Amino acid sequence: MSVAFPDGTVVRGAGLAQRDANATWRSFGLYLDARWQPTWPAIVVEWEDFGLPTHPFSAAEAIQDAFARASSGEHVEIGCAGGIGRTGTVLACMAVLAGVPPDAAVAWVRTHFRSDAIETPVQEAWVRWFAAYNVVK
């Protein structure tokens, strides 16, 4: 499902069921589950289901990079196993990068992507951590 952020940046959020190795529209992927096994340009972040990334700083950098790619017009896909929790968390981080206030980013994603996105309180908290990391950086 495509998500258009307030700044005009568009990405696609997906679960493994939507994986299409032959998709010609996609130019880059950021995946939060190794089962995606991309054969196209991508980064796979080690991120436990229902949890947080194993390496938060490198995950934050990967999110920033994917958002920059999408902002410059590349077709970027974000995906995890179900396309809900980890994908939603990344989309909330991207919403912050697009100008959504950190305290509103989770609700924004639940309104504009999926109502069940971002599945755990630790994922919600990580969005706020991500926002603070970007301010300090």
Q: What is the pLDDT of residues 110-128, one digit of tens each?
A: 999 999 999 999 999 999 9
Domain that holds residue 42: 2-136
Q: What is this structure's pTM? A: 0.96
Q: What is the pLDDT of residues 23-80, one digit of tens each?
A: 999 999 999 999 999 999 999 999 999 999 999 999 999 999 999 999 999 999 999 9
pLDDT of residue 137: 52
Band of pLDDT at residue 135, cut at 50, 70 and 90: low
- Nearest CA among 22, 47, 14, 19 for reference residue 32: 47
pLDDT of residue 134: 79
* Interaxial angle between packed helices 56-71 and 85-97, expressed in degrees from 0 to 180 and rounded to the nearest 10: 60
Q: What is the CATH number of the domain that holds 62?
A: 3.90.190.10
Q: Which regions of the chain does DSSP assign to beta strands (E)?
A: 2-4, 10-15, 28-31, 42-44, 76-80
CB 117 within 8 A of CB 85: yes
| Number of domains the chain is built from | 1
Long-range contacts of 45-49 (CB under 8 A, 24+ apart): 47/80, 47/86, 49/80, 49/81, 49/85, 49/86
